[in-house]
C-alpha cells in the first residue's frame, strides 16, 4: 500500500468516524487522560507528595480544587500523577498479554495439531481460576508492588489474546488469498506475518482498548487491596483505600479517585466500541 492510499484511507476513516458519538467521546476522554498524565510529569498544582498536616482534609476550594487528603496532600495533584501510574501499569500489562498471546494464538492457528491443542487447553484451564484471585495470589505471595501487579494482570491477558488471535487467524487460513500464498510455496511464518497479522490488526486494536480498560480496573482493585502500587506513589485504588477509613469525616475523598477511574474506563470502552464499529467490515456493511 502506498503512503498516499494510506493517507486517503485514514482520511476516509476520519470522515466516517467523525459522526460517531461513541468514538469521538471515547477519543476525547482518552486523549485528555494521556494529556493529563503527560502534564503531571512536568507540572502539578502542588508537589504530589508534599505533606501539609495543618492543611489536611480540606474540602474542595479555590486553592485545592479537589481538596486535600489526611496528610494535607493536594488531591488533584495526586489524581493527575495517579493517571501516569494507571496508564503505565495497564500499558505494560496489556503489552505482555498481547506480546505473548498473539504469537501463541497465531502459532496455534498456523500449526494446528498438538501445538494448538496445548495452547487451547492452557487457555481453557486459565478460565477455571478467576483472574483477580490469581492476581491477588501472585502479588500477595511474590510481594506487593507495581511490578508484580503488572505481571499478574499481564499473565491473564495472554489467554484472551491467544484465543482471539487463533479464532480470527483460523478463519483467515481458509481464505483464498492465503491459500494462494500457500500454493505459491510461502512458509507458514511468512504467511502469518504478511497476510494473517495485518488482517487481524484492527480486531487486536479493539481488543487492546478493551483490555486496557479492564487492566485499569484490575490495577485499581489490586492497589485498593494494598497489593499494587505502594505508597507514597499515588494510585487511584490506593487513594480509595485510604479514603474508606475517612468516609464519615471526609466523604469527598472517596469520590474523586473513583470518578477518575470510572471516566477513564468509560472513555476507553467507548473508544473500543467506536473503533469496532469503524474497523469491523462486517458490522460496517450491516449498518
Least Å from the CB of residue 31 to other proteins: 17
* Residue 93 vs 110, nearer CB to other proteins: 93
Burial class (CB in 10 A: 0-12, 13-18, 19+), 199: middle
Give whole-number Cα distances, 4 to 11, 37, 195, 201, in Å: 11, 33, 21, 20
Least Å from the CB of residue 163 to other proteins: 13
Residue 136 as a binder of other proteins (CB under 8 A): the answer is yes
- Please state, in angstroms and rounded to a whole number, the distance separating the CA atoms of residues 222 and 216: 10
Least Å from the CB of residue 59 to other proteins: 15
Q: What angle do CA 199, 169, 14 make, to 5 degrees?
A: 25
- Please state, in angstroms and rounded to a whole number, the distance separating the CA atoms of residues 1 and 10: 12
* Residue 31 vs 259, nearer CB to other proteins: 259
> Which one, of 170, 164, 159, lies nearest residue 196 by Cα?
170
Burial class (CB in 10 A: 0-12, 13-18, 19+), 195: buried
Binding track, positions 75-114, relative to other proteins; x by CB under 8 A:
----------------------------------------
> Which one, of 223, 259, 215, 219, lies nearest residue 239 by Cα?
223
Least Å from the CB of residue 119 to other proteins: 14
* Residue 125 vs 177, nearer CB to other proteins: 125
* Residue 78 vs 195, nearer CB to other proteins: 78
Residue 133 as a binder of other proteins (CB under 8 A): the answer is yes
Q: What crossing angle do the helices spanning 146-155 and 197-224 adopt, rounded to 10°?
A: 130
Binding track, positions 155-194, relative to other proteins; x by CB under 8 A:
----------------------------------------
Provide the grid cell at 243.
Answer: 479514603
For cell 494462494, the residue is 180
Decide if 237 contacts 223 (C-beta within 8 A). Answer: yes
Least Å from the CB of residue 217 to other proteins: 5
Q: Which of 42, 62, 128, 184 binds other proteins (CB under 8 A)?
A: 128
Region 213-252 residues binding other proteins, contact defined as CB under 8 A = 213, 217, 220-221, 224-225, 237, 240, 243-244, 247-248, 251
In the complex, the residues that contact other proteins under the rule CB under 8 A are 124-125, 127-133, 136-137, 140-142, 213, 217, 220-221, 224-225, 237, 240, 243-244, 247-248, 251, 254-255, 257-258, 261-263, 265-266, 269-270, 287
Amino acid at each position: 500500500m502506498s503512503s498516499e492510499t494510506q493517507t486517503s484511507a485514514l482520511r476516509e476513516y476520519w470522515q466516517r468516524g467523525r459522526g460517531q458519538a461513541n468514538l469521538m467521546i471515547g477519543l476525547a476522554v482518552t486523549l485528555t487522560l494521556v494529556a493529563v498524565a503527560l502534564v503531571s510529569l512536568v507540572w502539578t498544582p502542588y508537589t504530589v507528595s508534599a505533606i501539609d498536616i495543618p492543611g489536611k482534609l480540606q474540602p474542595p476550594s479555590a486553592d485545592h480544587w479537589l481538596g486535600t487528603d489526611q496528610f494535607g496532600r493536594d488531591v488533584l495533584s495526586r489524581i493527575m500523577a495517579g493517571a501516569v501510574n494507571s496508564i503505565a501499569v495497564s500499558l505494560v500489562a496489556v503489552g505482555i498479554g498481547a506480546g505473548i498471546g498473539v504469537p501463541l494464538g497465531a502459532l496455534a492457528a498456523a500449526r494446528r495439531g498438538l501445538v494448538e491443542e496445548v495452547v487451547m487447553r492452557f487457555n481453557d484451564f486459565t478460565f477455571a481460576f478467576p483472574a483477580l484471585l490469581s492476581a491477588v495470589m501472585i502479588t500477595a505471595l511474590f510481594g506487593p508492588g507495581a511490578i508484580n501487579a503488572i505481571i499478574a494482570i499481564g499473565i491473564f491477558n495472554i489467554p484472551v489474546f491467544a484465543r482471539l488471535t487463533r479464532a480470527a487467524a483460523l478463519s483467515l487460513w481458509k481464505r483464498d488469498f492465503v491459500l494462494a500464498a500457500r500454493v505459491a510455496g510461502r512458509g507458514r511464518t511468512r504467511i502469518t506475518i504478511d497476510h494473517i497479522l495485518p488482517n487481524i490488526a484492527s480486531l487486536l486494536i479493539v481488543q487492546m482498548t478493551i483490555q486496557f480498560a479492564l487492566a485499569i480496573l484490575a490495577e485499581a482493585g489490586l492497589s485498593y487491596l494494598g497489593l499494587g502500587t505502594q505508597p507514597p506513589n499515588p494510585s487511584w485504588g490506593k487513594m480509595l483505600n485510604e479514603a474508606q477509613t475517612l468516609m464519615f469525616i471526609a466523604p469527598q475523598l472517596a469520590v474523586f479517585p473513583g470518578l477518575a477511574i470510572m471516566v477513564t474506563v468509560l472513555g476507553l470502552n467507548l473508544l473500543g466500541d467506536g473503533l469496532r464499529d469503524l474497523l469491523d467490515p462486517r458490522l460496517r456493511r450491516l449498518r
